[in-house]
Structure 1
Amino acid sequence: MYRFLLTPRWLGLLALALVAATVMVLLGNWQLDRYHGRTAVNERIDAGLRMAAVPLRDTLPAPTGGPGTAGPPPAQERTFTRVTVTGRYDTDNIVLVRGRTVESRVGFEVVTPLVLADGTAVLVNRGWIPPAPGGAMAQPQVPPSPAGEVTVEGRVHASESGNARVARRDGRLESRRVSVPQLAGELPYPIHGAYVLLDEQTPAADPVFKAVPVGHANNWQNLGYVVQWWIFAAMTLVGYGWIARREARQSSGTPDPLPRDLAADPSPSPQESR
C-alpha cells in the first residue's frame, strides 16, 4: 500500500521535508542559545543593581599600552558589575554622544574621562542631558565637572560595537556611540577597555543629568521564536505523513472520509427535494 514511497518522486519529497525540518530545528536551537545569552545578561544587570561596589581594578584590567590605546575588555561575566573608582575629570576631553533617547526625548549622553592616580583613565558616562534650543543636534550646555578628586560609583558597561566616527566640534568630541577603542585614539592617555555608567558620585553630580537606564534584553521574544520554529518543523513532517496517507488511500480505492457534518446530514438530491 505504501510502496509508492520508494519511488524517486516520494523519496525526493521525503528528503526535502527532512532537510526543511532539520533547518527549522537548527534555527530553533540558535534562538534558544540567544534566549540563554540574553537571560544571562538580564541576570547580570539585576545582580549589578543589588551588589555592593568593588574597586575598579578587581573587575577591569588596567591598560598596559601607551597614550591613545585602550586596555582589554572585561570578561563577559564582569559586565554590569558595580564598581567604585577615584580620580579627576578631564574637562578638556568631554565626549558628547548624540542621538540618545531617555524618557522619549532625544539628547546627548556626556562621557568624561576620569584620570586616575597612575596616569590611566576610565570613561565615565555621567548621564543624559537635553540639547540646546534649536534641535536635537544642537550642542547642550554641559554643567561644569567637580574640581579636584571625584569618587565615582557605577556599573561596568562594555564598549559599544559599530564603527562610529569621532569628531571634535567646538572643542568637544562628538560621536554616535561609546566605542572605547575609537575614543581612545583621541585621548592623551591609555584608557580602560570599558566605560562606567554612573550611579552615584562624590561630590554629587549636577541635577540636570538624568541617569541612563540599562534596558533588559527581550529574551522572551527569542523563546517564542524557539517554539515557532520547532512547531514548523513538526508541521512539516506531519504534513508529509498526511499527504502520503492520502495518496495511499486514493491508490487503494479507499475514499477519504466525509466531514462529520456532511456524513450526519447529507444534502437532499434534486429528486428527493421534489
Structure 2
Amino acid sequence: MYRFLLTPRWLGILALTLVAAAVMVLLGNWQLDRYQGRTAINERIDAGERMNPVPLRDAVPAPNGGAGTAGSAPADEATWTRVTVTGRYDTANIVLVRGRTVDNRVGFEVVTPLVLADGTAVLVDQGWVPPAPGGAMAQPQLPPVPPGEVTVVGRVHPTESGTGAIGRREGRLEARRIGVPRLARELPYPVHGAFVLLDEQTPTADPLFRAVPIGHTNNWQNLGYVVQWWLFAAMTLFGYGWVARREARRMAGLDGPHLPIDRAAERTPS
C-alpha cells in the first residue's frame, strides 16, 4: 500500500517535511538556550538582593587604561552582585539619562561618577528624578550630592547598548542609555566596565531620588516558544503521516464504506 512513498514526488515531500521539522526543532533549542540564559539572570538578580555586599573589585575588574577609557566588563556570573565602594562624587560630570520610566512617569536617571582613591571611577546610578515643570525633557532640579567621601552599596549592572549621541546641556551630560564605554570617553579618568545601581549610601541619599527597580527577564515567554516550536515540528511529522495514510487508503479503495444498493427493493412498492 505504501510503495508510492518511494516515488520522486513523495520523496520530495518527505525531504521538505524533515527539513521543516528540523528547522523547528532548532528554533525550539535556540529558545531553550534563551530561556536558560534568562533564568540564570533572574537567579542572579534574586541572589543579589539577599547577599552581603562585597568590595567592587571582587566583581568588576579595575580599569587599566588611561583617561577616557573603560575597563573590561565583568563576567556574566558577577553581574547583579551586591557591592560596596567608597569614593567622592564628581558633580562636574553628572550624566542625565533621559526618557526613563518609573511608576509610569517619564523622567531622568541620574548617573554620577564616583572617583576612587586610586584615581579611577565607577558610574553610580543614584536613582530616578522627575523632570522640571514644562515637559518630560525639561532638565530636573537635582538634589545636592554629599561632599567628601561617600560609601555606596548597590548592584553591578552591565553596560547598556545603544547609547546614541551624548551632549551637554546647561553643563550636564545627557544620554539616552547608560553605555559605559561611550560615556567613559567624556570623562577625565579611567572608568570601570559596568555601573552600580544604588541601593543605599552613607551619608544617606536625598529622598528625591527614587530607587530604580530591577525588572526580571520574561523567561517564561521563551519557554512558551520552546513548546510552540517543538509542537509545530511534531505536528509537521504527524501531518505527513496522516496525508500518506490517507493517500494509501484512497489508492486501495478504502476511503469509506461502499454499501451495495438493492435495486429490486427500490422498485418494490411499499
Interval of TM-score (by shorter of Structure 1 and Structure 2): over 0.9
Match of 1:42 in 2: 42
Q: Which residue of 1 aligns with 2:157?
A: 157
TM-score with structure 2 length normalisation? 0.94
How big is the shift at 1:34?
A: 0.3
Equivalent residue number for residue 132 of structure 2? 132
Q: Are positions 1:53 and 2:58 aligned together?
A: no
The residue that corresponds to 2:5 in the other structure is: 5
Q: Deviations over 1:223-248 (max 9, x none)?
A: 00000000000000000000000000
Overall identity of the aligned pairs, in %: 77
**TM-score, normalised via structure 1 length:** 0.93
Deviation at 1:165, TM superposition (A): 1.3
Q: Distance in 2 between matches of 1:189 and 1:182?
A: 13
CA–CA separation in structure 1 for the residues paired with 2:216 and 2:255: 56
CA distance in 1, matches of 2:12, 2:45: 50
- 2:89 equivalent to 1:105: no
Residue pairs, 1:92-241, within 5 angstroms: 92-241=92-241
CA distance in 2, matches of 1:134, 1:62: 41
> Which residue in the other structure is 1:66 paired with?
66
The letter of the residue matching 2:42 is: N
Once the two structures are TM-superposed, the CA of residue 99 in structure 1 deviates from its matched residue by 0.4
Could you tell me whether the CA contact under 8 Å between 1:70 and 1:192 is conserved in 2?
yes
User: Residues 64 and 51 (structure 1 numbering): CA distance in 2 closer, same or farther, change over 3 Å?
Assistant: same
- Cα deviations by residue, 1:77-100 (Å, 9 ceiling, x for unpaired): 000000000000000000000000
- Classify 1:52/1:254 alpha carbon distance in 2 versus 1 (closer, same or farther; 3 Å): same
Instruction: Note the C-alpha offset of 1:201.
Output: 0.5
Shift of 1:256: 3.5
Query: Residue 245 of structure 2 corresponds to which residue in structure 1?
Result: 245
Which aligned runs of 4 or more in structure 1 are off by greater than 3 angstroms? none
Gaps of 5+ in 2: 259-266
Gaps in structure 1 of 5+ consecutive residues? 259-270
Once residues 64 and 237 of structure 1 are traced to their aligned partners in structure 2, the CA distance between those partners, rounded to angstroms, is 56
- Assess if the C-alpha contact under 8 Å between 1:246 and 1:256 holds in 2: no
Q: Write the letter of the residue equivalent to 2:196.
A: V
Q: Secondary structure, in 3 states, of the residue corresponding to 2:154?
A: strand
Aligned length: 260
**CA 70–257 in structure 1, closer or farther in 2 if over 3 Å, else same:** farther
